[in-house]
A and B are shown apart, each in its own frame.
Chain A
């Protein structure tokens, strides 16, 4: 039986001009290769996989009311984090990490987010050169699951995503609980605990019609300019990823003890009202927990709100973002009360997310124990778009590789130290990460177990 890697190598050669042209595939050339074996080793009753994800919210925090005073495991919960009380042991707070701007302008709601994600604050979308770190991690561990990564947002807009190969290639989000259910648990879902498994030949057909490489296509690749060629390569890379996914559908999935089919959600309209958003987010978080427990993916991104935050309250003329800039600081309280409410509710939603992951039993612990989630915002203090002390948090223990429930207070190192750390924990072979003043080579060893 031909091995998939061989065939893919062949496709690549065909595309890049060297090899013969394939006009067809052997009938049953569809079963897995090296990565399939790797999958069997991690999923099939062996070690449980470690999953990585990000959780994003827009418009930051009020730093004095968000950052704990005490460091280490006994950290206090400031008012905006009060809702994390029951999950504090799972959550590490990372305060005091900065985005060095190297003399460039701080592009509001953009520089901070992009620096955390790509290792450098780009000047505009199209100037983003590096992939976001979830993509780097998915490249390292994403194969062998049905979805290489899942991008999610409860805000109804597939454009709400901060996951990209570069500034021209955003991975669009699944924008609602119902669509998420249909994509993950719809007709293509194969219950890993089902006793019966019959490979469906339709997956073989789908895979084979995607795979052919023609002489005409080879010539096209030769005459494209460099930028177009990169875009065409990206298309062909996507083709290969879909082929791999279809190949997985032809294998009996290894059993997954905690996998249960979730209930189908209703078709509620997305909203910018924070209470409605939080409810949709909770549904999606619980569904994501099942998607992870069912080995549908190992990498995900959840965007609770867009950078700068679109959240508001029904009936109020002014939303979260406008309030950060416009609300007067209450002289008695010493802070902006409406902003404080929005941040606190956003942090409560983050608590919902952590709780949903911790609620699933897996092995001797919980699903969350086998996860690493990086939560962060686009700015620290929304009022002035500050990117010093950018708020970040981690949840999960990455399969026992790290400690959780710590407050690490840093004195202004680049945010990229966190990005480098999570990549290393997730097995990305990187000894340094970031560009310019953001380039770092020291992970946060104090997190290591």
Chain B
């Protein structure tokens, strides 16, 4: 499978409503694995929406989106659910299940996606991932008992345990103090080292963007501005 995301003139509106204000339009890109792309830009102007659109969470209202050379959407329906199973998404608010313990949160999507895996093997995998993200001592607690940084690490592990080909991380250091943010950034870099995945990260933090650069794109005034564009260097000065 060719690990590639191709967007052609995609448009999205606020609330995915046909009547909502346009968040971005004419966004075209062709990103191939293995690579890491960072999206920055003003708050509230559609960075997370673009990430969710590229990740198949939301349908673009205009334009076409191909994942691995296949159109993701046919009209309003997802055309190929198997493509979605190649994607891993970590949400900005972590989207953890408050009534499930840490280890159950970690394994929830894994159980859905890989029902054939034996429970003993799944438990070993969970132990391995909890260790990787430094949560082995917290396996049996509930999300509200974790600090903000620990919740972020759990959300990340829950995404990466699926071994996705396409990884989407929505502001993985949002709300963390700079020291915890740096630790999280180093953890992400370590976990992705040697990965063959296509990774897209939204961030507001210039320090983190520099950590994950150089493929830094800016969503500004409804357009995606990528390295090489004529107004790119002025945006670099403004945001970085």
A complexed with B:
no
